[in-house]
A and B are shown apart, each in its own frame.
Chain A
Amino acid sequence: MNALYDLLLAPFAYDFMQRGLLSAVLLSISGGLLGSVLVLRRLALMGDALTHSLLPGLALSWLLLGRGPLALLTGALVAGLLSVMASALLSRLTRLKEDAAFGAFFLVAYAAGIALVSQLGTRVDLLHFLFGHILGVGPSDLMLTAAASGLTLAAFVVAYRGIVLEVFDPIFARAAGMRGGWFYAGFLALAVLNLVAGLQTMGVVLALGLFVLPAASAYLWCDRFAWMLVVSVVFGTLGSTAGLAVSFHTGLSSGPAIVLALGVIFLASAVLSPRYGLLHALALARRERRTVRHTVD
């Protein structure tokens, strides 16, 4: 019992760990909700590309406006919008398909971002920026995270029906006269807001882990959308708590520690899920092979 306490609870006696935990739990809520939409709309990789493209915007606003959360948010929003619009334009007007346009554009943006961040010199540690730095979570970061998380939760409560239709069957929504034009703009804004909010805890590159991994894990267990949302949030919370404890004991950056903990949940889900997991698929295949052999005999 004592060992368990030392392992899991003792780390959170410290103020900075409490702030980190609160931030991670808040992000788990919004991440689980937004991540479920990403996973179901097959936008997980696109989201990954998007996070990389935020880097130059973040670095530029840091250089020009300082490191206040509002400055970072503005920089990231502008970078995110510009990259999405530019790559959409490329894929629509040139021969390039969407994946190549987005992929190419976001790689360049990422490189530009790293170049800019390294120009920030001693004022900021590149590793902190990329992978998170739990010690750096200040009160203003927490405020931003709470706002991002609350806004996301509110959006899902208010627009739940619209979101389900827009994700599941936008053509029906349109035929029935429901307007969906706000959906992608709103989704993008919420995603960027939460990615920026996750900057201190998770880092630019890994913040999306709190979106994609819990949702992908929940997708393997749930046959109802509402349950998938709830289970995503629970998985995210469990994973980030465990990850923070690991980070405390091992000195690993909080971002990778959390993503690795979420990875354990994901892998376990992929193997063990009773209906959609690997073990189930293998058992099915073996049963099928046996049936075929019997028929041949």
Chain B
Amino acid sequence: MAGHDIFRLQDVTVHYGQRTALDGITAHIPCGALVALVGPNGAGKSTLLRALLGWLPLTRGEIRLGDKHPRHLHPRLAYLPQRPEVDWDFPISVREVVAQGRWPSLGLFGRFTAAERERVDRALEELDLTALAGEQIRRLSGGQQQRMFLARAVAQGADIFLLDEPFAGLDLAASAELIHLLQRWLAQGRTVVAAVHDLALARAHFSHALLLDTRLVAAGPAAETLSDANIDLAYHRRMPVLGVRP
């Protein structure tokens, strides 16, 4: 699979009413890459993720997943919003949430067989949640809650992960763990596209980057894409005011 593009974006343009959220993005996202979406607030990072999910009507352009429209490949796609809007008091255990990952392919009636249970066990193990499997979800820490949703995506059998600011609100240890996990997924050939604010982190740990400022500023291998010159281009309007370099 390496060497192929998993997403091809051609002139992708999205408007929210009068406001242009994305303007003529043409880019390819290679299969098995760890891609950082970088750009100032309002640059269209979340919008691009939602467009990749096939949720937004495009004003212009098109997105192909492989050679199909994203809407036809949902079980392969996993999406983690910035702050999952779930009720943490919901009467549900960690294991039950992870098991939901099997439901999209089982549908309403598919039997939850021993093989399904085993996949859930493996996902719990991969995300180091086995010991917490029986807990009600409120009792997890922030990092553990995130791992629970990632485990659900793994159980789902997803190989493309779209993560909106997964590092927001994580402490140092949890960040390090997440980086470790993403690198392992990279080694396994999974594709991750993540909105990231921390430039140093994106440069050091991601294989590729897309630098956005509504329009595409640069795309390619992370180190080149996130060069100082490009960063200035993407953030230039804001930086002089703050008087700091990102």
Contact = CB atoms under 8 A, between A and B. Distances in A.
Interface string B67-86: 00001001101110100111
B136 interface: yes
B108 A172 contact: no
Interface in A144-163: 158-162
A165 B103 contact: yes
B92 A168 contact: yes
Contacts of B97: 168
Interface of A is mostly: helix
A191 interface: no
A168 B108 CA distance: 16
A175 B79 contact: yes
Contacts of A40: 87, 90-91
A172 B149 CA distance: 10
B74 A177 contact: yes
Interface stretch (A25-33, A89-97, A106-114, A219-227): A219-227
B92 A176 contact: no
Contact of A222 (B84, B91, B103, B152): B91
Size band of the B side of the interface? 20 to 34
Contacts of B192: none
Nearest to A229: B91
A171 B84 contact: yes
Given A171-B81, A175-B77, A224-B96, A161 B108 contact: yes
Size band of the A side of the interface? 20 to 34
B85 A172 contact: no
B103 A178 contact: yes
Contacts of B77: 175-176
A107 B198 CA distance: 51
Interface in A226-277: 227-228
B53 interface: yes
A223 B135 CA distance: 9
Given A168-B86, A172-B152, A174-B55, A161 B79 contact: no
By Cβ-Cβ distance, the 4 closest A-B pairs, closest first, are: A177-B74, A176-B104, A175-B79, A223-B136
Interface of B: 53, 55, 71, 74-75, 77-79, 81, 84-87, 90-93, 96-97, 100, 103-104, 106-108, 136, 149, 152, 156
Given A171-B84, A175-B74, 19 more contacts: A40-B90, A159-B108, A161-B107, A168-B92, A171-B79, A171-B81, A172-B100, A172-B149, A172-B152, A175-B53, A175-B77, A175-B78, A175-B79, A176-B103, A177-B74, A223-B92, A224-B92, A224-B93, A225-B91
